[in-house]
């Protein structure tokens, strides 16, 4: 049984057609390695429609409104670890152009996409980043691009059809992420540039996801439940499907035209000594004919062997009344721990918990 499974997974991977290719071939049932365990699917229909998820208006961030904005952001990061921002300064035409470019990449003929189908590269198009590591595959294709540090050779590798938009998006997201880090830092009572000085925006990876229609959307997922690993994630989405977990309840992250979804990553939770929470989230398999496109940019600390700096709860936040909840670690240790986790168990916080 398991041998069969590996063989089928490998055949699918070797075909390089992605999930979109399966849909285009006219399949009406999904290959069985996409079928998730019943316990991971049990609650996909009991999601709350509540729109409580905070929306933070960044308008006037450099005016007298700043303290109020900091308060709102910091409360959202403490209570939810997940929120949407509006009036973030990135013009709507840019948001639309970025979504269109990523969608166009995925809708190219398979012969062209195949040229980018490589795993473990700075730029790669793959089905299921974790196809070989995960228990069950998920119903999406992804274009991965390492956006920073800026490397000219990486820019050349970005597929021509979306190169300009991806590079431009990186510039906009970097500016926004640095601003959010200042505000979130101030919300912890830190001096504005603390997170930047700790190199919290030195690395950016973009994941351009494409979720085509799934004929058996109740048997699989678009992206199983997880938390992001970095400092924060900036997400642009065109259609619904994303959910985040608040307590025991899944909440819909409703697409709002012009808004961006921000979520706190595990690293920021640890740096803030649990004041901010990394929000657990997942994406349902797309049951609509219209494909869903989303673009996540993971902003965080660059992982290099030469980065021997020690990370953990920020000293400024600790006191006898607030002892550290995590031990210190290096970035390479964090990555190593992540990859050695048991399959299906995605949290790395436990690895460093004191």
Please, what is the minimum distance in Å from the beta carbon of residue 228 to ligand AKG?
A: 5
CA angle 2/4/5 to nearest 5° reads 65
Instruction: Report the residue number, 98 or 227, with the smaller CB distance to Fe ion.
Output: 227
Closest to ligand AKG by CB, 17 vs 234, is 234
Binding mask 210-249 for Fe ion (x = CB under 5 A): ------------------x---------------------
Q: Which of 181, 130, 177, 147 is nearest to 338 (CA)?
A: 130
Backbone angles phi, psi at 295, to 5 degrees: -130, 115
Three-class secondary structure of residue 107 per DSSP: coil
Q: By C-beta, is 194 or 282 nearer to ligand AKG? A: 282
Q: Which of 23, 85, 176, 296 binds ligand AKG (CB under 6 A)?
A: 296
70 or 207: CB nearest ligand AKG: 207
**Footprint on residues 242-261 left by ligand AKG (CB under 6 A):** 242
Min CB(103)–ligand AKG separation in Å = 13
283 lies in the binding site for ligand AKG (CB under 6 A): yes
Residue 261 Cα distances to 12, 101, 236, 256, 307, angstroms = 32, 19, 6, 9, 29
324-332, long-range: CB within 8 Å, 24+ apart, which pairs? Answer: 324/273, 324/354, 325/270, 325/273, 325/274, 325/353, 325/354, 326/270, 326/273, 326/352, 326/353, 326/354, 327/352, 327/354, 331/301, 331/302, 331/303, 331/304, 331/307, 332/303, 332/304, 332/305, 332/307
Work out how close the CB of 115 gets to ligand AKG at its nearest, in angstroms, rounded to a whole number.
23
Residues 208-237 that bind ligand AKG (CB under 6 A): 209, 223, 228, 235, 237
Residue 236: exposed, middle, or buried by beta-carbon count in 10 A (0-12, 13-18, 19+)? buried
209 binds, among ligand AKG, Fe ion, none (CB under 5 to 8 A by kind): ligand AKG
> Token match 């048991």: residue?
342
Q: Is 294 in the site for ligand AKG (CB under 6 A)?
A: yes
| Site string (174-213) toward ligand AKG, x via CB under 6 A | ---------------------------------x-x----
Q: Where does this chain bind ligand AKG (CB under 6 A)? A: 207, 209, 223, 228, 235, 237, 242, 281, 283, 294, 296
Q: Given the rule CB under 5 A, which residues bind Fe ion?
A: 228
């Amino acid at each position: 049984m398991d041998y069969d499974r590996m063989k089928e997974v490998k055949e699918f991977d070797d075909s390089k057609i992605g999930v979109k290719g399966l849909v285009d071939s006219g399949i009406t049932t999904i290959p069985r390695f996409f079928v998730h365990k019943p316990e991971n699917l049990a609650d996909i229909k009991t999601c709350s429609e509540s729109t409580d998820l905070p929306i933070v208006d960044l308008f006037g961030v450099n005016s007298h409104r700043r303290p109020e904005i900091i308060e709102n952001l910091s409360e959202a990061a403490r209570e939810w670890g997940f929120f949407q921002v509006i009036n973030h300064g990135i013009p709507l035409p840019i948001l639309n152009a970025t979504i269109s470019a990523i969608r166009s990449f995925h809708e190219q003929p398979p012969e062209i996409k195949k040229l980018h189908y490589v795993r473990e590269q700075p730029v790669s198009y793959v089905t299921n980043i974790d196809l070989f590591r995960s228990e069950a595959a998920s119903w999406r294709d992804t274009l991965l691009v390492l956006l920073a540090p800026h490397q000219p050779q990486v820019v050349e590798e970005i597929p021509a059809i979306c190169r300009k938009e991806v590079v431009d998006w990186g510039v906009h997201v970097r500016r926004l992420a640095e601003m959010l880090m200042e505000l979130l830092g101030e919300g912890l009572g830190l001096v504005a540039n603390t997170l930047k000085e700790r190199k919290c925006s030195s690395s950016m990876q973009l994941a351009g996801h494409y979720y085509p229609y799934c004929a058996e959307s109740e048997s699989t997922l678009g992206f199983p439940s997880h938390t992001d690993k970095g400092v924060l994630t900036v997400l642009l989405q065109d259609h619904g499907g994303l959910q985040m977990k608040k307590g025991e309840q899944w909440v819909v992250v409703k697409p709002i035209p012009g808004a961006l979804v921000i979520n706190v990553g595990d690293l920021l939770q640890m740096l803030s000594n649990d004041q901010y929470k990394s929000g657990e989230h997942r994406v349902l398999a797309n049951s609509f004919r219209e494909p869903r496109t989303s673009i996540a940019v993971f902003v965080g600390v660059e992982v290099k062997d030469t980065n021997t700096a020690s990370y953990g709860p920020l000293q400024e936040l600790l006191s006898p009344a607030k002892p550290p909840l995590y031990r210190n670690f290096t970035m390479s240790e964090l990555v190593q721990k992540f990859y050695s986790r048991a399959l299906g168990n995605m949290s790395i916080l436990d690895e460093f918990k004191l």
